[in-house]
């Protein structure tokens, strides 16, 4: 039976694909489903046109397990029931309790940002393993307004005020022009249940405060708020399209740092200088607020050293350098999913991904059996590892190593999405580690980790 008031939402999707020059027919579409009204309405609308356009429709769901266990379990069941009801394939992942909270603490990042990183790593894995054409996320017009105001008040770069992009790689957001109220109305008139996230009422969170307090107050006083902001977004996007500059050509990299030539930068107009600095911070994955005053201070080139989170900024003759410091001697988490060199104290970690394995003391893992993100963190009390001999406590392994207390608490633990997969310095205690014989039999893609120098060299 056709859903009531679905035509205008179907039109949004069709128009989106046409405007982007994309073919919808025969696509493999995966909805990033949370159970909230936005993603659920997307699922129902795509399901409405599923057979007409011969769509391979699926959903991806990740349970962050941040909220109460009972609420998390109820939400997971709700998602499964919806997938069963509509007969769509469900890709799901359940995080361990406090996994994201602990990751946020050790990353010195917000829970929201850490959850987002984990979520998109999961989506990337689903896409890679199942040949998904497009992941669809439920961002709407109201969320775009919130994002723009948040960035404006934070003093972000001018071009970031274009808002949420409607397409990034294979992620698409066809409801960015749809009001939240229209989405809620569509679900209610069709008697379709959805999950209400009570954390959205917590105004101590920046986005919620903008959503629940700031925007309603502005709308009360400024009747043309929506039209004015829509016009502003279009103008910033036009400005972005008009700027034909490749910031990457001004950026140099070596094994330790990113740097730019000061003389080259000074030849640019001030606007481009500022945007370049924001571009570098984005490249370094800095998510916290960066004030315009701080950027101006950098561009005055009159300082010895500045610090932003774990980034050291310093002048070296005619170069402005950005050094990402991972030399941490207390709690640490280092993402080692990508090839490259990483440092923990005096220990250097070298990561490579290859179809063949070296005949040396490196640790070799079957890449098909480990799940991103792959990261190194320090040992924590209560850690355990599941190896071929069974589940054992990491503390028991470390006890046999006769380490002093300071070194023990900094022993690097190799983890993936599922948990601990290895203890650096002890090849035996590794989950999914493969031998040379196993490799020659299977010829798998390998994740190779070499450990050199310091207390943990093998």
* Number of CB atoms found within 10 A of residue 283's CB: 14
Pairing of strands 319-324, 311-316: antiparallel
Q: Give Cα separations from 270 to 63, 160, 239, 332 (angstroms).
A: 45, 17, 16, 37
Statement to judge: residues 270 and 299 lie in one domain: yes
pLDDT of 277 higher than 70: yes
Give the structural domain span for 215. Answer: 7-221
Residue 353: which H helix or E strand, with range? strand 347-354
pLDDT score for 111:
79
Mean pLDDT, residues 276-298: 85
**pLDDT given for residue 390 in this prediction:** 64
Give residue 450's pLDDT.
74
Q: Is residue 172 located within the same domain as residue 83?
A: yes
What CA–CA distances, in Å, run from 239 to 142, 147, 233? 22, 18, 10
Q: Is the pLDDT of residue 404 over 80?
A: no
Q: What does the pLDDT read at residue 185?
A: 96
Percentage of the residues of the chain whose pLDDT score is greater than 70: 85
Q: How far apart are CA 284 and CA 391, in angstroms?
A: 37
Do residues 139 and 133 lie in contact, with contact meaning Cβ atoms separated by under 8 Å?
Answer: no
pLDDT tens-digit profile of 79-134?
Answer: 999 999 999 999 998 887 777 877 777 666 777 878 888 898 889 889 988 999 99
Q: Are residues 318 and 352 in the same domain?
A: no
pLDDT at 1: 66
Question: Is 441 a residue whose pLDDT tops 50?
Answer: no
- What element of type H or E holds 186? helix 180-189
| Residue 239 is assigned to a structural domain of this protein | no
198 plus 51 within the same structural domain: yes
Rounded to the nearest 5 degrees, what angle is found at the Cα of 418, between the Cα atoms of 453 and 131?
105
In eight-state DSSP terms, residue 338 is S
| Cα angle 90, 91, 97; round to 5 | 120
Residue 433 DSSP symbol: B
Q: Are residues 275 and 165 in the same domain?
A: no
Is there a domain that residue 2 lies in? no
Residue 238 lies in a domain: no
Q: Is residue 309 part of a domain?
A: yes
Query: Are 216 and 273 in the same domain?
Result: no
Question: Which residues have CB under 8 Å from 189's CB, separation 6+?
Answer: 4, 5
Question: What pLDDT sits at residue 357?
Answer: 59
The CATH number of residue 292's host domain is 3.30.465
Q: Are residues 184 and 270 in the same domain?
A: no
Mean pLDDT of 335-351: 77
Instruction: Give SS3 for 109.
Output: coil
Task: Pick the closest to residue 116 from 133, 132, 137, 96 (CA basis).
Answer: 137
User: Are residue 320 and residue 368 in the same domain, yes or no?
Assistant: no
Given a contact cutoff of 8 angstroms between Cβ atoms, the answer to whether 322 and 284 are in contact is yes
According to the model, what pLDDT value does residue 283 have? 83
The 3-state DSSP class for residue 34 equals coil
- How large is the average pLDDT for residues 183-204? 92
Residue 437's pLDDT band (cuts 50, 70, 90): very low
| Judgement on whether residues 77 and 94 belong to the same structural domain of the protein | yes
Does position 151 have pLDDT exceeding 80, yes or no?
A: yes
Can you say whether the dihedral through the CA atoms of 360, 362, 367, 369 is positive or negative?
positive
- The answer to which of 57-66, 143-152, 357-366, 434-443 has the lowest mean pLDDT is 434-443
324, 349, 364: which is the final residue of a domain? 324
Check residue 395 and give its pLDDT: 79
Compute the mean pLDDT over every residue in the chain, rounded to the nearest whole number: 84
Whether the per-residue pLDDT at 156 is higher than 70: the answer is yes
* Band of residue 399 on the pLDDT scale cut at 50, 70, 90: confident
The rounded Cα 15 to chain-centroid distance in angstroms is 28
- Pairwise pLDDT comparison (391 vs 50), residue with the higher score: 50
Residues 337 and 320 grouped into a single domain: no
Asked if residue 371 belongs to a domain, the reply is: yes
Check which CATH number belongs to the domain holding 104 and give it: 3.40.50.620
Task: Answer whether 0.75 is exceeded by the pTM.
Answer: no
CB-based contact 387:419 (threshold 8 Å): no
- Does residue 75 lie within any of the structural domains? yes
Q: Does residue 330 register a pLDDT over 60?
A: no
In this prediction, residues 262-290 reach a mean pLDDT of 88
Number of domains in the chain: 3
The rounded distance, in Å, linking the Cα atoms of 451 and 415 is: 15
pLDDT confidence bin for 387, thresholds 50/70/90: low
Q: What is the tens place of the pLDDT at every residue in 212-257? A: 999 999 999 999 999 999 999 999 999 988 887 899 999 998 756 7
Is pLDDT above 70 for 7?
A: yes
Cβ pair 416, 373 in contact under 8 A: yes
Residue 53 predicted with pLDDT over 50: yes
Examine the pLDDT at 402 and tell me if it is beyond 90.
no
* Residue-level pLDDT at 266: 94
Residue 230 is assigned to a structural domain of this protein: no
Domain assignment of residue 241, yes or no: no
Q: Is the dihedral angle over the CA atoms 441, 442, 443, 446 positive or is it negative?
A: negative
Q: Are residues 114 and 190 in the same domain?
A: yes
Are 225 and 231 spatial neighbours (Cβ–Cβ below 8 Å)? no
Question: Given this model, what pLDDT does residue 291 score?
Answer: 83
From 324, 346, 380, give the residue that closes a domain.
324
Give the domain-ending residue among 302, 324, 346: 324
Residues 276 and 397 occupy one common structural domain: no
At 135, phi and psi to the nearest 5?
-95, 130
**pLDDT per residue as tens digits for the range 316-327:** 889 999 987 544
Q: CA-CA distance, 252 to 194, in Å (whole number)?
A: 49
| Predicted confidence (pLDDT) per residue in 445-458, tens digit | 677 777 765 555 54
Provide the pLDDT for residue 334. Answer: 82
- Return the closest-CA partner of residue 143 out of 192, 103, 179: 179
Contact yes or no for 5/185 (Cβ under 8 A)? yes
């Amino acid at each position: 039976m056709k859903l009531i008031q679905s035509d205008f939402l179907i039109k949004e999707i069709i128009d989106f694909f046409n405007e982007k020059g994309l073919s919808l027919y025969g696509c493999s579409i995966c909805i990033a489903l949370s159970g909230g009204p936005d993603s659920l309405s997307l699922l129902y609308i795509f399901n409405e046109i599923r057979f007409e356009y011969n769509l391979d429709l699926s959903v991806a769901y990740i349970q962050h397990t941040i909220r109460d266990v009972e609420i998390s379990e109820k939400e997971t069941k709700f998602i499964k029931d919806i997938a069963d009801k509509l007969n769509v394939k469900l890709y799901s992942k359940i995080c361990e309790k406090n996994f994201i909270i602990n990751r946020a603490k050790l990353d010195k990042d917000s829970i929201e940002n850490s959850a987002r990183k984990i979520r998109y790593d999961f989506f990337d894995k689903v896409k890679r393993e199942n040949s998904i054409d497009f992941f669809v996320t439920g961002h709407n017009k109201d969320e775009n307004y919130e994002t723009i105001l948040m960035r404006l008040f934070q003093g972000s770069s001018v071009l970031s005020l274009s808002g949420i992009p409607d397409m990034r790689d294979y992620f698409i957001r066809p409801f960015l022009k749809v009001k939240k109220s229209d989405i809620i109305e569509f679900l209610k008139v069709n008697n379709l249940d959805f999950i209400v996230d009570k954390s959205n009422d917590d105004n101590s969170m920046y986005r919620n405060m903008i959503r629940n307090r700031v925007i309603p107050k502005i709308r009360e006083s400024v009747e043309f708020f929506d039209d004015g902001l829509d016009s502003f977004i279009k103008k910033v996007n036009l400005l972005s399209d008009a700027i034909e500059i490749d910031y990457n050509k001004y950026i140099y990299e070596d094994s330790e740092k990113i740097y730019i030539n000061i003389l080259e930068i000074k030849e640019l107009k001030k606007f481009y200088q500022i945007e370049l600095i924001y571009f570098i911070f984005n490249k370094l994955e800095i998510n916290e607020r960066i004030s315009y005053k701080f950027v101006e201070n950098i561009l005055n080139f009159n300082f010895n050293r500045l610090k932003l989170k774990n980034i050291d900024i310093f002048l070296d003759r005619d170069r402005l350098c950005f050094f990402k410091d991972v030399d941490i001697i207390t709690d640490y988490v280092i993402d080692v999913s990508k090839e490259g060199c990483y440092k923990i104290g005096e220990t250097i970690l070298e990561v490579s991904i290859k179809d063949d394995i070296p005949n040396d003391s490196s640790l070799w893992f079957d890449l098909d059996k480990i799940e991103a993100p792959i990261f190194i963190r320090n040992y924590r009390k209560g850690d355990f590892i599941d190896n071929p001999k069974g589940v054992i406590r990491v503390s028991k392994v470390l006890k046999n190593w006769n380490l002093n207390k300071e070194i023990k608490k900094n022993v690097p633990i190799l983890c993936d999405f599922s948990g601990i997969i290895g203890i650096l310095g002890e090849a035996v205690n590794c989950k999914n580690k493969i031998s040379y014989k196993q490799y020659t039999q299977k010829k798998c893609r390998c994740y190779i980790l070499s450990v050199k120098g310091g207390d943990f060299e093998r």
